Amino acid sequence: MIPPWSFDYHDGSGNAFHARDDGSGASYEYLPVRPEHSSTGRYSGGTAKQGRLSPTIASALWDLARTIEGAPSLRTQLRAKGTGALALHGSTGHRELIVQRSSALEELDALIAAL
C-alpha cells in the first residue's frame, strides 16, 4: 500500500476506527460508542485512542481489509447490528462494503482491539 491511503471501519456495535497515511507515516483514531449514544443507553465501546501505526500493523490492517474485500461471500447489502462497515481509499480507488459476522471480521476486531 502506497500513501496516500485511508481505512475507515465501524464495527458491529458502531465503534469507529480510522487509519490513514498521507505519506508521513500511518496513524489511527478509535472513537468508541458512548452510553448516551448506544441503543441500550448502557453500552460503552471503551476509551477513545489515537496514535501511530507501525508499518507492520498498518500493512496487516490493509491486507486483512483487502482479503475481506476480495471475498464476496462475506459481504451483505444490509447494515444490521453485528455487521461491519468498511471503506478503503487508496491508489486503486474508493470502495465501501458491509461485512457479515465472520471469522474475518472477528480477526479485524481483534487486530484493532490490540492497539
Q: How far is CA 106 from CA 62, 102, 110, 113, in A?
A: 15, 6, 6, 10
pLDDT (tens digit per residue) in 3-55: 999 999 999 999 999 999 999 999 999 999 999 988 888 999 999 999 999 99
Interatomic CA distance for residues 75 and 107, integer angstroms: 15
Torsion angle, alpha carbons of 74, 78, 82, 83, to 10: 40
Domains identified in the chain, total number: 1
Residues 64, 111: contact at Cβ < 8 Å?
Answer: yes
pLDDT tier at 92, thresholds 50, 70, 90: confident
* Grid cell digits, residue 13: 456495535
Which residues does 83 contact at the CB level (< 8 Å), separation at least 6? 12, 76, 98, 99, 100, 101, 105
Domain with 63, as residue range(s), is 5-113
In this structure, the number of other CB atoms found within 10 A of the CB of residue 28 comes to 20
**Alpha-carbon 58 to chain mean position:** 12
0.85 surpassed by pTM: yes
Task: Give the separation between CA 87 and CA 20, rounded to whole angstroms.
Answer: 12
- Confidence band, pLDDT 50/70/90 cuts, at residue 95: very high
